[in-house]
Structure 1
Amino acid sequence: MTTAAPEPTAPREISTVGVIGLGTMGAGIAEVFARNGFTVIGVDQDDEGVARGRQHLEHSTGRAVARGKLSETDQKALLDRISLGTSMADLAPADFVVEAVVESLEVKKAIFRQLDDIVAPDAILATNTSSLSVTEISTANSRPGRVVGIHFFNPAPVQNLVEIIRTVVTEADVLERAKSLVEQVGKNPVVCGDKAGFIANTLLFGYLNHAVSFYEGKYASREDIDAAMRFGCGYPMGPLALLDLIGLDTAYEILDTMYKQGRDRLHAPAPILKQMVTAGLLGRKTGRGFYTYEGPDSSKVVADERTPSADNAPQLRHDITTVGVVGTGTMASGIVEVFAKSGHDVLYVGRSQEKVDGVVAGITRNFDKQIQRGRATEDDKAAALARISGTTSLDDLADVDLVVEAIAEDLAIKTTLFENLDEICKPGAILATTTSSLPIIAMAKVTSRPQDVIGMHFFNPAAIMKLVEVVTTVSTSDDVAESTRALCDKVGKVAVSCGDRAGFIVNALLFPYLNDAVKMLEAHYATADDIDTAMKQGCALPMGPFELLDVVGNDVSLAIQKELYLEFREPGFAPAPLLEHLVTAGYLGRKTKRGFRDYSAR
């Protein structure tokens, strides 16, 4: 006689959620669940913490009411679903418990140890840690398989991203139920493994640390570093301003934890971070960090001893009336349009009459689009086109005040061009290159006037993007550098200054971050979709790294990464093998219909 196997027990339905720790994050998490109909039990260590949590909840929901996003009736119902206290025993009915206490491994482990004797054996336990080992926290519980990381982003009611961290022992059912719960409260879950920093912080803080190194090495000013990433990449904040918002002490701890776990030198906190933390310069919360603020917890930046004086704004030390542009591609055409719109006479040089005619046709189309959108008039178009003329002869550039070359990114071709420009252009004319990665000094040295050679790195499309990196070599004269910055301002661009080394500011900060994302993908730590989602929703970036790589082109990205590696000899800058393999296979991104994603059916 055989006995029938028992029916599998259905997963416990989650209706009551426990939240341990009622600071800004814990109270925000409690609000998220209560907003979505869950009964919430909030616990803090003392009455003061409970009062602070209640205040957070009232203020946050009150702001939602004031903005018309929540009615007063719904606010009351939401708050009625939350009970607050100081006893861990109150968590007994909870089906799901998330802790959001101080980032201390011992404190968190003590909590998970306590929960063993309080909640039901099938309740799911979660930690909101942003940097500690979820695996180590889980070992404090008698059933580590039911422990998972649930990393909300601050402020939790607003931010849509939640990182779900699986350990090597997290049960598959626990992971799926946690993911389903996060989706149920209207958040976007991304799943990743248990390593310090998870997805968003690993990629974000490597980039932030690199920016600090730029500042520490006096490669560029804090204002120029931040402006470069805001205007060059469309980031909502520059890296140093973002560090001030996060808190330099928090940033240091996250980087230190990441470095100790992964031993990646790029995560070793820049020495100046520790010095600033020791000095109490923690950012906005103390009123001073990389910038100085009106007071503690203020967001208003005030002038300090490092703030550029308005009296020292760059002036045109060279008379620049006529501009020459060499090239007829997208970048060259955009530069022609920029100068013509700002009132300069522009003479551009192409290799054939067909290419010369194509520039005027392209600029005309751009104006027609702007006129349709109400951003320009027919008179604007006629005036700009009247200032533009094209030629197929370099010799026609003899009388221009500035030449900007925007030809192929090939050093041999560019140096030959600069040899010719040196012979053709009048004394005192500024010779500029738009190179994004090649050494400008190599072009300067083939001329008899290296003091007049400078980098003007426009961003594509030049007519729209605000940023220009003004790159000086060891030979560039101060007058030429100042005049170039002043000219950028005159034509409506934001100029940032830096020295002549691979990547300048933007590419030197951007591409190591993209390379780190590729390494994360090839290690099977997370999917490309989850990594993109994490960076867009967790860090408010306009595009995820793989979206951006496919737009830029994997071949272009690989070439820039190789230049950075050759220049800095930093092991962490070595191009990810997966990136090289995709380029070898011809999977270059959108332009070949396949890169990190397949675009053939789109």
Structure 2
Amino acid sequence: MARDITKVGVIGLGTMGAGIVEVFARNGIEVVAVEVDDEAVERGREHLDTSTGRAVARGKLSEDDQAALVSRVQFTSNLNDLKDCQLVVEAVPEHLHLKKEIFARLDQIVDEDAILATNTSSLPVTEIAVATSNPKRVVGMHFFNPAPVMQFVEVIKTVVTADDIFERVKGLAKRLGKQPVVVGDKAGFIANALLFGYLNHAVSMYESKYASREDIDAAMRLGCGYPMGPLALMDLIGLDTAYEILDTMYKQGRDRLHAPSPIIKQMVSAGLRGRKTGRGFYTYAAPGSSQVVEDAQTPRPNGERGIALRPIARVGVVGSGTMATGIVEVFAKAGYDVIYVARASTKVDSVRAALTKSLEKAVQRGKATEADRDAALAKITGSTRLDDLAEVDIVVEAVVEDLHVKQALFENLDEICKPGAILATTTSSLPVIECASATKRPQDVIGMHFFNPAQVMKLVEVVHTVSTADDVLATVQDLCVKIGKHPVTCGDRAGFIVNALLFPYLNDAVKMLEANYSTADDIDTAMKTGCSLPMGPFELLDVVGLDVALAIERELYLEFRERGYAPAPLLEHLVTAGYLGRKSSRGFRTYA
């Protein structure tokens, strides 16, 4: 019968290794903490003291508990001190030869029934295991940073890992208060395999100057609710670490989307490795600091660019759906006179009723006064005639996502609207230039992609075409700020920023499920608890609608002709079967 694990070893006392030491010691387990030399041992001790001291300061750990925790840890630079450990976790840098060398030495030191675990985030566990005389006792135990906080652990079972060894490690993870997810030995496992493809794509977007670093990061924070933007996250992880993970993933899977963007290696070679060196995609106050400081790439306000803005006082909105109604409310609450145009008088009335209800709810929740409500409603006029838009300064269309319908509308707006009026489309996927080309004033046409619900979501993607005038772009950026939105600016490419980064990641998740590598539940758990995302990919797909996701992925594939963007067959089959997500009560999951 297997012994309870009461004493463990941890090799490598950097941020991750010291965090793993803390996790074990917090749970009453004796720990032998090993580093390469006495100086490194002291740094590891400082990591532990700082982390537990912070917990005491925040009231999450008493001083007595801190003292008891530290007393359970034996610091050493001698691997032979691991002899009596029932489990040893290796957390050294991501170099295969180094890990194999350590495991070969451990094999000679610990008892034959001791378990050997690697915390690698991307290297093949099997290759590490075969450096020992008994690869059956080797597993992956991938903690996430910071280990004392993150509740997720990937437990990696190789083709030779013994079942009882694997079950003991899984049970230990639960005992530590972690949520273990079981995965096979594939580069990146679940979380990194999905995360780093997304990060690499964001770097490529930045490298091609499609959008600024600030706009890419703000788009994913505000548009998807992510805790950090991808480029800020790269700086936190370390560009050298990210490069090693991507390179390993590419060599194993040969997926071009995992081939590290050239700029990553260039920045690593130049010493720009992220927060730890004080410079990466952003510049920081000092090495190790999280405080971003201005540098040559920091955006300058429009006023400093010397561009005269077009005056905006009256706004037109075309459409009567949820998005159009939300946009009308946003402009009216910001003090603009708004005229909205719907196809029929019944639609005009329904928009007015929806606006009245929404503004009344805001009053009841204390988010607006009755005077605010009445002032906003007084700013709104409904009509069934496009001709009533003749004197507006900007028109925002929010009609059906059909290019022919939008082009016909823009032809009409071109004839109706006064010279200098800006014509904007809220399209989320269609080419803005196709709308512009239907007019004789393509310089006045721009994309203004609001997110649903428009009253709540802070993000607007401002999409300029090859024809958009500089003053139109500057005016719309300024207008977004005045209506309380955060504008991010990009060129006229399929998916803009958010969808172009989000949907390939969702597609990769479907491919992972399709390959039977993991379950939808475990993949969702990995991304929510391991990467702190608000929703797992399959939860999100079911909310968005599988048919909507498929349409966007097809647009991305047609635009970029990248094999990795081709929609997963499983997604196509589910849509064909009518399993569209929550709206049809069945998607990747079944709903009541």
TM-score band w.r.t. shorter chain: over 0.9
Q: In structure 2, what is the equivalent of residue 338 of structure 1?
A: 330
Whether 2:348 is the aligned partner of 1:352: answer: no
Quick one: which amino acid aligns to residue 234 of structure 2? L
Contact persistence 2:34–2:41 (CA under 8 A): yes
TM-score, normalised by the number of residues in structure 2 = 0.97
Any idea what the Cα deviations from partners look like across 1:17-68, whole Å, max 9, x if unmatched?
A: 2212222211211110111111222222222222222222222111111111
Q: In structure 2, what is the equivalent of residue 206 of structure 1?
A: 197
Any idea what the Cα deviations from partners look like across 1:455-510, whole Å, max 9, x if unmatched?
A: 10001111111111111111111111111111111111111111111011111111
Any idea what the Cα deviations from partners look like across 1:146-188, whole Å, max 9, x if unmatched?
A: 2110011111111111111111111222222211111111111
Supply the distance in 2 between the matched residues of 1:481 and 1:587 (Cα, whole angstroms): 40
Supply the distance in 1 between the matched residues of 2:307 and 2:540 (Cα, whole angstroms): 36
Supply the distance in 2 between the matched residues of 1:570 and 1:68 (Cα, whole angstroms): 51
Residue from 433, 437, 444 that aligns with 1:445: 437
Stretch deviating more after TM superposition (512-521 or 84-93):
84-93
Supply the distance in 1 between the matched residues of 2:304 and 2:502 (Cα, whole angstroms): 30
Whether 2:298 is the aligned partner of 1:301: answer: no
Quick one: which amino acid aligns to residue 486 of structure 1? D
Q: In structure 2, what is the equivalent of residue 3 of structure 1?
A: none
Q: In structure 1, what is the equivalent of residue 469 of structure 2?
A: 477
Closer, same or farther: CA 314–123 of 1 in aligned 2, 3 Å: farther
Supply the distance in 2 between the matched residues of 1:157 and 1:495 (Cα, whole angstroms): 36
Quick one: which amino acid aligns to residue 60 of structure 2? K
Q: Counterparts of 1:367-378 in structure 2 under 5 Å?
A: 367-378=359-370
Q: In structure 2, what is the equivalent of residue 7 of structure 1?
A: none
Residue from 211, 222, 227 that aligns with 2:213: 222
Any idea what the Cα deviations from partners look like across 1:403-452, whole Å, max 9, x if unmatched?
A: 11111111111111111212222222111100001011111111111111
- Kindly state the Cα deviation for residue 315 of structure 1 after the two structures are TM-superposed: 6.4
- Report the secondary structure of 1:289's partner residue: coil
Closer, same or farther: CA 314–345 of 1 in aligned 2, 3 Å: farther
Stretch deviating more after TM superposition (392-401 or 513-522):
392-401
Contact persistence 2:94–2:241 (CA under 8 A): no
Contact persistence 1:205–1:267 (CA under 8 A): yes
Quick one: which amino acid aligns to residue 312 of structure 1? E
Supply the distance in 1 between the matched residues of 2:311 and 2:38 (Cα, whole angstroms): 70
Contact persistence 2:19–2:147 (CA under 8 A): yes
Q: In structure 1, what is the equivalent of residue 498 of structure 2?
A: 506
Supply the distance in 2 between the matched residues of 1:55 and 1:260 (Cα, whole angstroms): 37
Quick one: which amino acid aligns to residue 65 of structure 2? D
Supply the distance in 2 between the matched residues of 1:176 and 1:365 (Cα, whole angstroms): 55
Q: Alignment identity in percent?
A: 72
Whether 2:546 is the aligned partner of 1:551: answer: no
Q: Counterparts of 1:142-541 in structure 2 under 5 Å?
A: 142-310=133-301, 311-312=303-304, 317-541=309-533
Q: Counterparts of 1:574-585 in structure 2 under 5 Å?
A: 574-585=566-577
Whether 2:572 is the aligned partner of 1:593: answer: no
Quick one: which amino acid aligns to residue 261 of structure 2? A
Quick one: which amino acid aligns to residue 171 of structure 1? A
Q: Where do 5+ consecutive residues of structure 2 fail to align?
A: none
Supply the distance in 2 between the matched residues of 1:23 and 1:321 (Cα, whole angstroms): 57
Contact persistence 2:206–2:213 (CA under 8 A): yes
- Kindly state the Cα deviation for residue 122 of structure 1 after the two structures are TM-superposed: 2.3
Supply the distance in 1 between the matched residues of 2:327 and 2:220 (Cα, whole angstroms): 21
Contact persistence 2:94–2:244 (CA under 8 A): no
Contact persistence 1:470–1:496 (CA under 8 A): yes
Contact persistence 1:98–1:126 (CA under 8 A): yes
- Report the secondary structure of 1:513's partner residue: helix
Stretch deviating more after TM superposition (445-454 or 50-59):
50-59
- Report the secondary structure of 2:88's partner residue: strand
Supply the distance in 2 between the matched residues of 1:357 and 1:241 (Cα, whole angstroms): 46
Quick one: which amino acid aligns to residue 380 of structure 1? D
Whether 2:115 is the aligned partner of 1:130: answer: no
- Kindly state the Cα deviation for residue 592 of structure 1 after the two structures are TM-superposed: 0.9
- Kindly state the Cα deviation for residue 118 of structure 1 after the two structures are TM-superposed: 2.6
Supply the distance in 1 between the matched residues of 2:519 and 2:381 (Cα, whole angstroms): 50
- Report the secondary structure of 1:117's partner residue: helix
- Report the secondary structure of 2:36's partner residue: coil
Spell out structure 1 runs of 4+ moving beyond 4 A. 313-316
Supply the distance in 2 between the matched residues of 1:445 and 1:403 (Cα, whole angstroms): 16
Contact persistence 1:12–1:122 (CA under 8 A): no
Contact persistence 1:179–1:189 (CA under 8 A): yes
- Report the secondary structure of 1:116's partner residue: helix
Whether 2:89 is the aligned partner of 1:98: answer: yes
Whether 2:50 is the aligned partner of 1:63: answer: no
- Report the secondary structure of 2:410's partner residue: helix
Supply the distance in 1 between the matched residues of 2:574 and 2:415 (Cα, whole angstroms): 43
- Report the secondary structure of 1:543's partner residue: coil
Supply the distance in 1 between the matched residues of 2:387 and 2:187 (Cα, whole angstroms): 59
- Kindly state the Cα deviation for residue 266 of structure 1 after the two structures are TM-superposed: 0.5
The size of the alignment, in residue pairs, is: 591
- Kindly state the Cα deviation for residue 316 of structure 1 after the two structures are TM-superposed: 6.4
TM-score, normalised by the number of residues in structure 1 = 0.96
